[in-house]
Structure 1
């Protein structure tokens, strides 16, 4: 367990370092969603098209998020970090999946593991306890760090899902 948490910390630290480097590179070098802007020319690594597909369910103060990261290429990625942000506060205590870490009062990040060319990463499942029992939660899923890869299609890795407290699954 300590090795996995260390790996997550390494991914988080790498993401913070990438943000710092982007800030030094100047405006326009960093695109929303955590990917290097297409054609920015500065610090761009391999080109990859990261996407997330899954579902969100809210029931009795528990939010469940299940997703599969995918990469349409043209290059494979060793790892990436997906970020899940909520409109409601998380409960103080959380049992998070391996490779995931809490990043704030309303935020969790998870490593995807290797993303092969035209392939899928590991399935990520989160069962998040909320501080209160809201009638609805807005869930934003996006790439927080992608190893410096260029991603020309950010639309498929940035999702906004409204989950109502009905137990229904909302797909993205």
Structure 2
């Protein structure tokens, strides 16, 4: 135990000696921003049309952001995704949102994905996976969960 304490002390001293700072309990690692995603999703015969607009309520800008879209059903093997979007798993697509100034709206994101088969419903989860180091303490509006029925109707979030 004593050796462990000495190592921690030496590690913190070395960090400070090279111009760093020792970690402070409760310190916020980056500027605070509040990302939100609002849009709609509609499904017809296993094709899900998702459209949403990112927004940063501030107070700080977000230098770059990425949103994750997860479906409860697996996606078809072949997808044609818009620029800035990439498949990340059997049920996951990541889309780059880009930089967002404080109190600003980003470029709309629109994608059409095909599911494997033709389910009568699919659950879509949307959340931020990268915010360029900004901290979002209000995670309620950047995490969306939408039940989309195969009716062709738009379900808003």
Could you tell me the TM-score, scaled by structure 2's length? Answer: 0.82
Q: Which residue does the alignment assign to 1:67? A: 52
2:68 is matched with which residue?
83
CA drift of 1:41 comes to 2.2
> Residue 133 of structure 1 is aligned with which of 108, 118, 121?
118
Structure 1 residue ranges without an equivalent (≥5): 1-38
Spell out, residue by residue over 1:115-171, the C-alpha distance to the aligned partner (whole angstroms, 9 max, x if none).
111001111001001111000000000001111211111000001100000000000
Alpha-carbon distance between aligned partners in 2 of 1:67 and 1:107, rounded to the nearest angstrom = 16
CA RMSD, 1 decimal: 1.2
Give the whole-Å Cα distance in 1 for the aligned partners of 2:65 and 2:99.
8
Aligned counterpart, 1:28: none
**Distance across 1 between alignment mates of 2:50 and 2:94:** 12
How far apart are residue 40 of structure 1 and its match?
Answer: 4.7
- Distance in 2 of aligned mates of 1:164 and 1:117: 35
- What SS does structure 1 have at the residue aligned with 2:88? strand
Deviating 4+ runs (over 2 angstroms): 39-42
Gaps (5+ residues) in structure 2?
A: 1-24
Equivalent residue number for residue 153 of structure 2: 168
Which position in structure 2 is the counterpart of 1:21?
A: none
CA distance in 1, matches of 2:79, 2:116: 11
Any idea what the Cα deviations from partners look like across 1:11-65, whole Å, max 9, x if unmatched? xxxxxxxxxxxxxxxxxxxxxxxxxxxx9526x1111000000001011110011
Which one has a bigger Cα radius of gyration? Answer: 2
How many Å separate the matches in 1 of 2:26 and 2:154? Answer: 38
Structure showing the higher helix proportion among its residues: 1
- Paired residues, number: 133
